[in-house]
A and B are shown apart, each in its own frame.
Chain A
Amino acid sequence: MSGKRKPDLKVIIMGDYAVGKTSLVCRYIEDKFIKHEPTIGAAFFLKQWGPYNVAVWDTAGDERYTGLSHFYCRNAGAAILAYDMSNPQTFESLWARFMPLLNSSTEKCLKIVVGTKMDLIPPEERDITLEEGRKLAHELNEGLDISKLACEPYFETSSKDGSHVSEVFECIFQYCLPLSGDQRSKFGLSTSTVDLYEKEPKRATAKKGCC
């Protein structure tokens, strides 16, 4: 007899320093927005998805410990690559730093690109267009069949007002650990993906997510 409970899915969050990785996880898990200290090493969160356990690994943005990042990537079913929409340099980092990291360690890993801090940048001032974001996301997933993915592998979020945060996670979970409509209602989850946008915040009027 053993009480071991291994998580059914491991999701890793990566991205440049201070793009809001920890804020994104905390908005999703605790539905709160607070200032966070820089993450050292990695932080671990456990989330229930229907009958499954999902482990979310929030990593440090500092680029000193690449070897450790390789370890955190191991066996990840999905990776969230976060960049700060108000800072185009952080988008470049996804190309330069994180793409090589993921290609080598996890071929079958679903990659989702997430723009953060959408509330900070008016649509007309943004440097990275929606198309560019989607393009990167699709390139990252080359060689992976994402036809079953219910949405684009690209999201634009705000952890401050909560826009599209839970959609990111639920899109990943539904792809990696599909739940039937019955299961979803049994565990109190919304039964259709359209419902996910019910509580669309006031600010996010420019775009309707990505579905």
Chain B
Amino acid sequence: SFYFRPCSEDSSYETIDILPDIASSPSIKLTDDTPVSNRTEPLTGEEFQSFLDQDGRLVNEIGLRKAIFLGSVDSSIRKQVWQFLFGLYPCTSTKRERDALLIDYIIKYHELKNRWKTMLVIDSKPGDTEIKTKYTPRPLDLSLLDQTNISEHINTPDMEQKIEFMKIQAQVYVQRQRLDIEELKNQIRVIDKDVPRTDRDEEFFRGAGNPRLTELREILITFAGFSPDLGYAQGMNDILARFLYVMGSEVETFWCFYHYMEKIKEDFMEVGMVKKIELVKMLLGEIDNSLLHHFECHDMGNLFFCHRWLLLGFKREFTFQDSLKCFEILSSQHLELSSMEAETAVRREEMKEFANTGDLVLYLFFWLSFLKLF
């Protein structure tokens, strides 16, 4: 007998002369009592508040991750949620602590940016006024703090002293970073080719001279400059565009991006990406072995076509708005079955099988011997 399935290449039906592999069943059979939740509506602001305590700590992180996994997030609270999800702020931080952390983020980013700008000016030819005006370091901008509780204390002598101290700390931190200016100039060339072609169909990035493009550019240069082992790679612009759209401010976007890249930087290295695709292959073998076999028959068994999906979290496969949902769901890292639950489900299946064969004595004997071990 033949097995039919739509062919992805030309959407016609084609005949595959192999049978689906019925003999090899997945190790966990999903039955009615396997705990699998239904999809829900996006998480609302009210529900999100219920995960926080009165000081603003995220006390129910597991609950939040599960809610995101099942239904994504309402766009009105997306920024707040992503701050936790992508590690901008620790879940255990209070609102007050987050405000303090934000000042630190602002100052550090400011110093990082000034460092490469200054170095580009020093490196430029004496008469090059264009570079000088383009890269003259700007004064520290603390306007981002206006929305926080700090805003009213910002001009007190106490606070000013604190900020001065933080500046010095940040300068020490930045001076310690390695920065290869020649290499950075190469990276800037690639960045300048990619930024103008990043999500330009989106209203947010549309139009000539859109200031968002400058923000993308400066974040990417800062990141590339201070990540010597990784630098800039094509695709980072796509990832960054999502963060900038959601976070809005350049500083918060940089640090979200920075933390996210820390986690996934292996994807931008060949070994890491090949390993990841290999995992997809194993997973597909488990879930739909005949599909994997089909790919193998068509010289696509290595599944390299997943590369972009995995690297960008399906960003190019969906509309921009849907890709945001997709991104947060993928990043929720909620496991529908924890390893304990999976173990229990397997046990339950084994028990059923024993019960079905009717060999109850053997079954009891098995469990008794098991218990005796303890």
Contacts and interface: CB of A to CB of B under 8 A. Distances in A.
Interface in B284-301: 297-299
A61 interface: yes
Interface in B260-296: 268-270, 273-274
A46 B302 CA distance: 20
A61 B197 CA distance: 14
Interface string B312-334: 10001000000000000000000
Nearest to B271: A67
Contact of B234 (A62, A66, A67): A62
Contacts of B307: 40-42, 68
A35 B198 CA distance: 10
Interface in A1-43: 1-6, 17-18, 35-42
Given A3-B7, A17-B190, A64-B268, A38 B17 contact: no
B304 interface: yes
B61 interface: no
Interface string A49-73: 0000000000011101111100100
B273 to A, nearest CB: 7
A115 B225 CA distance: 31
Given A4-B298, A36-B197, A46-B9, A61 B304 contact: no
A66 B270 CA distance: 8
B308 A35 contact: no
A38 B307 CA distance: 14
A156 to B, nearest CB: 21
A17 B175 CA distance: 32
A101 B308 CA distance: 22
B238 interface: yes
B270 A38 contact: no
Contact of B15 (A2, A17, A35, A38): A2
Given A4-B298, A17-B193, A18-B193, A38 B235 contact: yes
A67 B198 contact: no
Contacts of A41: 304-305, 307-308, 311
A2 B10 CA distance: 15
B237 interface: yes
Contacts of B2: 1
Contact of B273 (A4, A5, A37, A65): A65
Question: Does more than half of chain A's interface fall in helix, strand or loop, or is it mixed?
Answer: loop
A39 B190 CA distance: 13
B233 A64 contact: yes
Nearest to B306: A41
Contact of A61 (B10, B234, B237, B299): B234
B194 interface: yes
A5 B299 CA distance: 12
Contact of A35 (B197, B234, B270): B197
Given A4-B297, A68-B304, A38 B274 contact: no
B348 interface: no
B240 to A, nearest CB: 13
A37 B238 contact: yes
Nearest to B302: A71
B312 A40 contact: yes
Contact of B194 (A2, A38, A42, A64): A38
Nearest to A40: B308
A40 B7 contact: no
Contacts of B274: 67-68
B21 interface: no
Interface string B3-14: 000010110001
A38 B197 contact: yes
A41 B297 CA distance: 21
B96 interface: no
Contacts of A65: 270, 273
A62 B233 CA distance: 7
Interface string B181-198: 000000000100110011
Contacts of B299: 6
A71 B302 CA distance: 10
A79 B330 CA distance: 37
B347 interface: no
B352 interface: no
B234 A60 contact: yes
Contacts of A36: 197
18 contacts: A1-B2, A2-B17, A3-B14, A4-B14, A17-B193, A18-B190, A18-B193, A41-B304, A41-B308, A41-B311, A42-B307, A46-B9, A60-B234, A61-B234, A64-B268, A66-B270, A71-B302, A71-B304
Given A37-B316, A38-B234, 13 more contacts: A1-B17, A2-B17, A4-B297, A6-B298, A17-B193, A40-B238, A40-B312, A41-B311, A42-B304, A64-B268, A67-B274, A68-B274, A71-B302
The 9 nearest A-B residue pairs measured at CB: A3-B14, A41-B307, A18-B193, A40-B308, A62-B234, A38-B234, A41-B308, A3-B15, A40-B235
